[in-house]
Amino acid sequence: MRSKSYNESLARNDIAPYMTLDGTTPPFSIPEKMESLINGVDNMNVNVYRYPEGSYVAVSDYWNCYELDPKSLLTIEDIKPKVPNATIMDKMIMLRTAHPLPEYGRNSFITFVSLASAIPEKKSSIKLIRVKTALERHEIVNIDVDRVPYMHSFGITENYAVIIAMPFFVDPIKMFKTLIALNVLEWTRVKELQYAIFFLHTLNAYEDEDDTICLDIATYNETRSMHFFDLDILLDLLARSKQPPADLRRFKLDLSKNTVAVSSFPSSSKTDLPDHLDFPVVNEKIRSNKYCFVYGIRYNTDGEDYLHMALVKKDLCTGDGDAYWSQPYTYLTEPWFIPSPEVSREDDGITPSYARHTN
């Protein structure tokens, strides 16, 4: 993306002062940090969506987005949609998901925005938002919260959006003290919690019989993966080998009893690689429905190096359809799934991922 921060960085031959997730090395000076806070997050290079009116947008975990031309891949312009029912003070920290989800049976997407309040008298809030076009957004519901949890994705069924608040909270006061986004996130062990997870990606969610929702998540038991790209970890084989792969879990939400039951999936006798995938994709034709197959990347395939990776297919229903592909010194991008144009089996399609081979 030829974002403003990209173009300015090229022009100065240095990293232009915009907000980044972690700090820079060497760090920005105090005036540069102040400037970066004003400039905000500008690199929307996490995900690409085609919105209902036909616009193509690049998105990240920040509210704004960039429009791009799908034919030339040129960057068109940055888009700053209005946050529905938000005041100037609400707009200091506007987090949203880099994984908006299609609204069941409608020509719209659902996303959320988290507004972290730095004023003690004012509550933080999470708003569930309907995206009609890149610019047109409507509030479905506003939920006031004491603290805003970091949320990279959520779940959607025919009738419900499931927002998952892990004990990893945004502390806006810290933001103003350190001016580094990653420092505002705090993992809080909450004693009353029966089951605390860290996660980045949900697989899918659907409504089952008897008033329950099945929500599937690639889980971790701590936040180490947030620091994986620290240079001292990337360059250290031992530190890399300690990065744990994800565990796939099903959370069954009983809406009448208000309980959650956690379970895992049947394994294949041939390989356990797909049981620990992340960056999950499903056949979008079955999104929000009962399903069996998910595809993704398994890191740390052998416990020796996080960068040993495999492209995997997980059969959540029986484990019998589990499969993987890997090759030494071959690094893979996040995959996606393109279903066969004909109406056919859920797993009839192709799963491209760019592989880079290096010695």
Residue type, 267: S
Q: Is 276 annotated as a binding residue?
A: no
Query: What token pair was written down for 63?
Result: 């509210």
Q: How far apart are CA 350 and CA 36, in angstroms?
A: 41
Beta-strand relationship, 349-350 and 198-208: unpaired
Q: What is the 3-state secondary structure (H, E, C) of the chain?
A: CCCHHHHHHHHHCCCCCCECCCCCCCCCCHHHHHHHHHHCECCCCCEEEECCCCCEEEECCECCEEEECCCCCCEEEEECCCCCCCCHHHHHCEEECCCCEECCCCCCEEEEEEECCCCCCCCEEEEEEEECCCCCEEEEEEEEECCEECCCCCEECCCCEECCCCCEEECHHHHHHHCCHHHHEEECCCCCCCCCCEEEEEEEEEEECCCEEEEEEEEECCCHHHHCCCHHHHCCHHHHHCCCCCEEEEEEEECCCCEEEEECCCCCCCCCHHHHCEEEECCHHHCCCCCCEEEEEECCCCCCCCCCCEEEEEECCCCCCCEEECCCCEEECCCCCEECCCCCCCCCEECCCCEEECC
Backbone angles phi, psi at 116, to 5 degrees: -90, 120
Asked if residue 152 belongs to a known ligand binding site, the reply is yes
The response to whether 201 counts as a known ligand-binding position is yes
Amino acid at 12: R
Which residues are documented as binding site? 99, 152, 201
Which residues are documented as binding site for Fe cation? 99, 152, 201
